[in-house]
């Protein structure tokens, strides 16, 4: 009798293992503010950094060259990934006052219901606690680079070390200790390389005081666009703080770590103060300091990706694991004199996205279709054989991973940004993006229903790849503007974009005027 019971249990175990093998494990590596220019697989002309581990995903899988975000800012992008919906549909518009509604349908919940074990480790940044996860170990808010406090399944814990290394360690440890009878979803989400770009101590001086090639638009005067491009507050010239410049130490760093930190920065900071730089020379110094620090953060992320891929191999599950690497949006590395994101312009609109799925994804393939992080939810559900809800607004990337483009794949993409005026005074805008053009309305909504300023821009990436000119009033583009306006209205209707957004969308700053005193 005992033998029969053991045999039955073994059969159940084998069946469970077989079912797990039929469905891939899913790993999403999600970084914060990682510019595609800072991944060597994308071939930036400045050759800023070598990212050999991230590049493996491109060599062994697919590199998406036009992966776009619906709203170029941290929290809204995370909400989009979870729900497969735009900000107006999932309710998370901005980082100022939005709070994620954890009761709504998300792809982790659907995978969990289908038998997947689910975990999210690292940056969360959605205010409410995670739902749909068996395990979560997250940073509060933005988190910090050194010795970060974290939230482990609802319990506050304090860690010592560098945040990227810790997230990497917790992620690989979870993989090793997982329930091996089930497939899994792991979202490993790094704080890096978010502002203030504090590198690990081992990467201080990684570039040997390199003078980086400057982008063509480092000293952009913004003359060719509307007033918003000049009115923003995100320049190396005016917005760069002492913390950004490492003229002060990062929060949370302890005395032992500070000693090594100061050994690198103090002599260089002393030379900077003595030089008394002004004007363009000051901008150039900040640009090079910024890239040293930002790229130093990327080096730790690349190492973390290498450790993750090695763990999958050690656990003998690499062949049955879909790994996707992307960021919540792109980022400016001095282009237009900027850091940060938010704009519909290419450096912030476009995010790096690479995917490896052995036996399914076409190795070494470069996909140039208009894709997006809004597609990830349906992609993961499709890979797992789980039906996606009809109200998700993306499309599965699985055919594209195989090198096949569906006949009805999108030829245009809708973009909308809301958060204003804090923190960077980038005015709200929405528009339509194609492989070549962008038609965008920029506006500041008022309590009375009007907007000021309120203007349009048309960009032609073929004729003006740096997007420094506005062609909207050029007679030669009249038909293009007409066609794109019609396409924009079609997209807004298809996506069910409300004509009037709630005031909370813009940070709750546009209140009705106070009644006049009698």
- CB neighbours of 361 closer than 8 A, spacing ≥ 6? 61, 62, 322, 355, 401, 402
pLDDT tens per residue, range 2-45:
344 344 433 333 333 334 447 999 999 999 999 999 999 999 99
3-class DSSP assignment, residue 252: coil
Instruction: Give the number of other CB atoms < 10 A from CB of residue 300.
Output: 23
Task: Assess contact for 70 and 81: CB atoms under 8 A.
Answer: no
Altogether, the residues listed in the chain come to a count of 518
* Residue carrying structure tokens 């900000």: 87
Looking at residue 195, what is its pLDDT?
A: 98
Can you tell me the distance from the alpha carbon of 349 to that of 370, in angstroms, rounded to the nearest whole number?
Answer: 12
Q: Sort residue 479 into left (φ over 0), alpha (ψ -120 to 50) or beta.
A: alpha
The two tokens of residue 258 are 């500070």
- CB neighbours of 244 closer than 8 A, spacing ≥ 6? 195, 196, 197, 286, 290, 339
3-class DSSP assignment, residue 481: helix
Can you tell me the distance from the alpha carbon of 97 to that of 78, in angstroms, rounded to the nearest whole number?
Answer: 15
Q: In b/e form, how buried is each residue of 28-65, taking b as 16+ CB within 10 angstroms?
A: bbbbbbbbbbbbbbbebeeebbebebbbbbbebbbbbb
Q: In b/e form, how buried is each residue of 207-229, taking b as 16+ CB within 10 angstroms?
A: beeeebeebebbbbebebbbebb
Can you tell me the distance from the alpha carbon of 445 to that of 501, in angstroms, rounded to the nearest whole number?
Answer: 10
Can you tell me the distance from the alpha carbon of 361 to that of 372, in angstroms, rounded to the nearest whole number?
Answer: 17
> Hey, what CATH topology would domain 414-506 get?
Arylsulfatase, C-terminal domain (3.30.1120)
Rg (CA), the chain: 24
- CB neighbours of 9 closer than 8 A, spacing ≥ 6? none
Looking at residue 24, what is its pLDDT?
A: 98
Average pLDDT per 10 consecutive residues for the chain, totaling 518 residues = 40 38 91 98 97 98 98 98 98 96 98 98 98 98 98 98 99 98 98 98 98 98 96 97 98 98 98 98 98 98 98 98 98 98 98 98 98 98 98 98 98 97 95 98 88 96 98 98 98 96 81 45
pLDDT tens per residue, range 229-271:
999 999 999 999 999 999 999 999 999 999 999 999 999 999 9
Q: Is domain 23-198+289-411 classified as CATH 3.40.720.10?
A: yes
- CB neighbours of 364 closer than 8 A, spacing ≥ 6? 58, 59, 60
Looking at residue 22, what is its pLDDT?
A: 79
φ and ψ at residue 111, rounded to 5 degrees: -65, -40
Query: Per-domain residue ranges for the chain?
Result: 23-198+289-411, 414-506
Residue 110: its H or E element: helix 107-113
Which pTM value belongs to this model?
Answer: 0.94
Task: Assess contact for 41 and 63: CB atoms under 8 A.
Answer: yes
Instruction: Give the number of other CB atoms < 10 A from CB of residue 475.
Output: 6
Can you tell me the distance from the alpha carbon of 330 to that of 130, in angstroms, rounded to the nearest whole number?
Answer: 25
The string of DSSP letters for 77-88 reads HHHHHHHTS-HH
Can you tell me the distance from the alpha carbon of 32 to that of 124, in angstroms, rounded to the nearest whole number?
Answer: 10
* Residue carrying structure tokens 């150039």: 284
Looking at residue 10, what is its pLDDT?
A: 38
Looking at residue 510, what is its pLDDT?
A: 59
């Amino acid at each position: 009798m005992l033998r029969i019971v053991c045999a039955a249990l073994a059969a159940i175990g084998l069946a469970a293992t077989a079912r797990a093998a039929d469905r891939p494990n899913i790993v999403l590596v999600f970084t914060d503010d990682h510019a595609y220019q800072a991944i060597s697989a994308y071939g930036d002309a400045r050759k800023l950094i070598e990212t050999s581990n991230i590049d493996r995903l491109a060599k062994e899988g697919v590199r998406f060259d036009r992966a776009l975000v619906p709203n170029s800012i941290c929290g809204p992008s995370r909400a989009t990934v979870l729900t497969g919906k735009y900000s107006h549909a999932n309710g998370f518009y901005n980082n100022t006052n939005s709070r994620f509604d954890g009761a709504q349908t998300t792809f982790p919940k659907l995978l969990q219901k289908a038998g997947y074990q689910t975990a999210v480790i690292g940056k969360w940044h959605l205010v409410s606690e995670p739902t749909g996860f068996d395990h979560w170990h997250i940073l509060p808010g933005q988190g910090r680079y050194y010795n970060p406090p974290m939230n482990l399944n609802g319990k506050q814990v304090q860690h010592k070390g560098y945040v990227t290394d810790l997230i990497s360690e917790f992620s690989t440890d979870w993989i090793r200790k997982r329930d091996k009878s089930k497939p899994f979803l792991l979202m490993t989400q790094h704080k890096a390389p978010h502002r203030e770009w504090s590198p690990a101590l081992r990467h201080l001086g990684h570039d040997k005081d390199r003078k980086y090639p400057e982008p063509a638009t480092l000293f952009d005067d913004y003359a060719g666009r509307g007033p918003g491009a000049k009115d923003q507050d995100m320049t190396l010239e005016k917005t760069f703080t002492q913390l950004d410049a490492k003229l002060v130490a990062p929060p949370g760093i302890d005395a032992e770590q500070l000693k090594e930190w100061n050994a690198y920065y103090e002599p260089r900071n002393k030379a900077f103060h003595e030089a008394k730089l002004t004007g363009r020379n000051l901008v150039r110094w900040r640009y090079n300091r910024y890239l040293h620090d930002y790229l130093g953060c990327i080096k730790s992320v690349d190492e973390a990706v290498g450790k993750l891929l090695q763990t999958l191999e050690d656990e003998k599950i690499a062949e049955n694991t879909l790994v996707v690497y992307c960021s919540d949006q792109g980022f400016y590395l001095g282009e237009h004199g900027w850091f940060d994101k938010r704009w519909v312009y290419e450096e912030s609109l476009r995010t790096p996205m690479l995917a490896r799925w052995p036996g399914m994804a076409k190795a070494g393939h470069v996909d140039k279709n208009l894709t997006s992080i809004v597609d990830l939810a349906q992609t993961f559900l499709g890979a797992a054989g789980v039906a996606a809800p009809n109200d998700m607004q993306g499309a599965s990337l699985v055919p594209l991973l195989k090198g096949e483009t569906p006949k009805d794949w999108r030829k245009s993409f809708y973009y909308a940004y809301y958060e204003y005026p804090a923190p960077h005074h980038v005015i709200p805008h929405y528009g339509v993006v194609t492989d070549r053009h962008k038609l965008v309305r920029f506006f500041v909504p008022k309590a009375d229903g009007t907007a000021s300023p309120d203007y349009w821009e048309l960009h032609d990436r073929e004729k003006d790849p740096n997007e420094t000119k506005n062609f909207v009033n050029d007679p030669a583009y009249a038909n293009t503007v007409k066609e794109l306006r019609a396409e924009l209205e079609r997209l807004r209707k298809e996506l069910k974009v409300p004509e009037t957004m709630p005031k909370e969308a813009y940070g709750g700053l546009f209140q009705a005027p106070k009644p006049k005193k009698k």
